[in-house]
């Protein structure tokens, strides 16, 4: 009887050891910088996206850890929008922010679109992208700084998904932000260089590219 009990205990201990050795790690489903945002709103690693049959629309470039900032992070569109003017005329306040530290591109873009006294070709172009519930907008100066910091990380995934990499060339790297120049709000807004991180005050009637971004929401 004692031998049988010892045998059962040995079998039980062996089974427990095998169970521990056979433990399978759960896949990490957390969103990361470089993940692919699809048109259905799901963010996937490139490995999971490749062959999934889903359509890529943007690449995650920033994850938000600040509870005071809206959204869980940002993703950048795969493609530029053609060069357009910030406003079709100057001299009218468009209601956008001049705060260089604010992550308020979404609010700024709506203000540009909603101003009746003057049209904003760049805002109209961005609003044409609103499909599949993906609310694209013109990034603020602060959001462009985040994108510039992540450029080296996201460019390989942008290219893998068939997009246009964020440029380095001096003659091709300037983009509109949605942030106006303080004290000159009716006439100028900020351009941002994704080649160098520099900024430049620019008359609103000039035509420049936009690289839309999207806020990630659960």
Residue pLDDT, tens place only, 124-173: 999 988 765 568 999 999 999 999 999 999 999 999 999 999 999 999 99
Contacts of 36 (CB under 8 A, 6+ apart): 43, 44, 45, 46, 49, 56, 58, 59, 60, 157, 161
Cα separation, 37 vs 87, in Å, equals 30
What range defines the domain where residue 175 resides? Answer: 36-216
Cα separation, 122 vs 211, in Å, equals 10
The mean pLDDT value for 47-53 works out to: 95
Is 3 among the domain residues?
Answer: no
Closest CA to 52 of 62, 64, 42: 42
Is 12 among the domain residues?
Answer: no
Predicted local distance difference test score (pLDDT) of residue 61: 98
Is 31 among the domain residues?
Answer: no
Is 124 among the domain residues?
Answer: yes
Is 2 among the domain residues?
Answer: no
- What domain count does the chain have? 1
Per-residue pLDDT tens digits for 79-116: 999 999 999 999 998 999 999 999 999 999 999 999 99
Unique residue bearing structure tokens 């010892």? 6
Cα four-point dihedral sign 156, 140, 172, 136: positive
Cα separation, 88 vs 119, in Å, equals 6
Is 115 among the domain residues?
Answer: yes
Q: Is the pTM of this model over 0.95?
A: no
209 φ/ψ angles, rounded to the nearest 5 degrees: -75, 165
Is 13 among the domain residues?
Answer: no
């Amino acid at each position: 009887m004692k031998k049988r009990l010892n045998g059962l205990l040995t079998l039980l201990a062996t089974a427990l050891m095998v169970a521990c050795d056979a433990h399978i790690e759960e896949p990490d489903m957390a969103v990361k910088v470089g993940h692919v945002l699809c048109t259905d709103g799901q963010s996937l690693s490139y490995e999971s996206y490749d062959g999934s049959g889903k359509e890529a629309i943007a690449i995650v470039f920033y994850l938000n850890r600040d509870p005071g900032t809206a959204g869980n992070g940002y993703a950048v569109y795969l493609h530029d929008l053609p060069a357009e003017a910030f406003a079709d005329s100057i001299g009218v306040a468009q209601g956008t922010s001049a705060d260089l530290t604010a992550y308020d591109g979404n609010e700024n873009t709506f203000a540009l679109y909603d101003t009746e006294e003057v049209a904003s070709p760049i805002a109209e172009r961005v609003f044409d992208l609103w499909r599949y519930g993906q609310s694209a907008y013109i990034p603020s100066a602060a959001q462009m700084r985040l994108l510039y910091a992540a450029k080296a990380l996201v460019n390989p995934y942008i290219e893998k998904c068939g997009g246009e990499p964020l440029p380095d060339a001096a003659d091709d790297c300037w983009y509109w932000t949605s942030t106006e120049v303080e004290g000159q709000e009716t006439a100028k807004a900020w351009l941002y260089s994704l080649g160098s991180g520099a900024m430049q005050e620019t008359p609103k009637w000039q035509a420049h590219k936009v690289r839309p971004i999207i806020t990630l929401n659960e």
